[in-house]
Structure 1
């Protein structure tokens, strides 16, 4: 069992819950199943999150991920976004964006996840972009980042992109993202 006082306990629960809600319909997900996956007690989940409904709401919340991704001035945002994504994957062993793509829950759950992503990440990014077509550019920027996340997932066991330093990936991918941020 994971030490309930350890800071990773909450993250382990969220990681297990995201996986469970992505792979199963909401009705089939149990707190006991999530607890077993996270190696914590079901009572700890209730203590930290209150209920299955509240846990689901937190797993479909992208606001903290958006805060991290967008926390840079516009002139360096592309590089920052790549670094934030890669570092989150490596430090927390989670991708802040990919869960929106791989959710296999029922239609209502996928809709909630996509709607929250659109509101909390895509529209928020679009609101920061200067110039023409900010919504289109925001979607394309996030497409670049989702593609990078997928590539890192596919090649996570010894792939060159997984072995490269985050700064090197930002050097290679950041300029393409930055061009979309800067606009036409």
Structure 2
């Protein structure tokens, strides 16, 4: 597969960008803006229709900055298709507190990136190869990783149900924004209501 702009992406591991941005954006903010714009673009458009120029315009940076930090459109897609960083944040809590942590972290990630960190696995408009890659990465980096950490029986099933509830939370908040009840609620209140069900699945009780 070609690595030029406008062709289908490879299914190998993506290039990891540097954590800071210089020049057109403050430290850290440039990369976040590019990743946010790329996530929207690759979710809402087929891969072949996405351009680095369009992503750059949406992110408020120059195309040359994207090339400098990510290289090619293929490498940028592979960064967007990587759920590892979101999983690191979501699962960074002891199991007895994981349910609440999942809700609070999901809301925090949505605020940071201006969108849900997981929903692109459901709504991507890419061709079958792209959707297959996203789903395989999601299973490997989110669902299977969580299942390995859960005690008790039915760990794989419980991990899938937890992932589904997180996707449901993200979809609900997205569906009713900007003035829905969920959008107006604090993260703590959302966790009060939503976390107990997640925690029961974590505990296997």
- 2:203 maps to 1:179: no
- C-alpha distance in structure 1 between counterparts of 2:55 and 2:133, whole Å: 20
- 2:37 maps to 1:44: no
Aligned equivalent of 1:122:
143
Aligned equivalent of 1:134:
155
Aligned equivalent of 2:13:
none
Aligned equivalent of 1:5:
25
Aligned equivalent of 1:153:
174
Counterpart selection for 1:89 from 110, 123, 130: 110
Across the two proteins, how many residue pairs are aligned to each other? 183
Aligned equivalent of 1:111:
132
Deviation at 1:156, TM superposition (A): 1.2
Cα RMSD (Å) of the superposition?
Answer: 1.4
Deviation at 1:33, TM superposition (A): 1.2
Q: Structure 1 length as normaliser, TM-score? A: 0.95
**Structure 2 residue matching 1:5: 3-state secondary structure:** coil
**Structure 1 residue matching 2:123: 3-state secondary structure:** coil
Which consecutive unaligned segments of at least 5 residues does structure 1 have?
A: none
**Structure 2 residue matching 1:138: 3-state secondary structure:** helix
Aligned equivalent of 1:78:
99
Counterpart selection for 1:15 from 36, 53, 78: 36
Deviation at 1:124, TM superposition (A): 0.4
- 2:48 maps to 1:27: yes
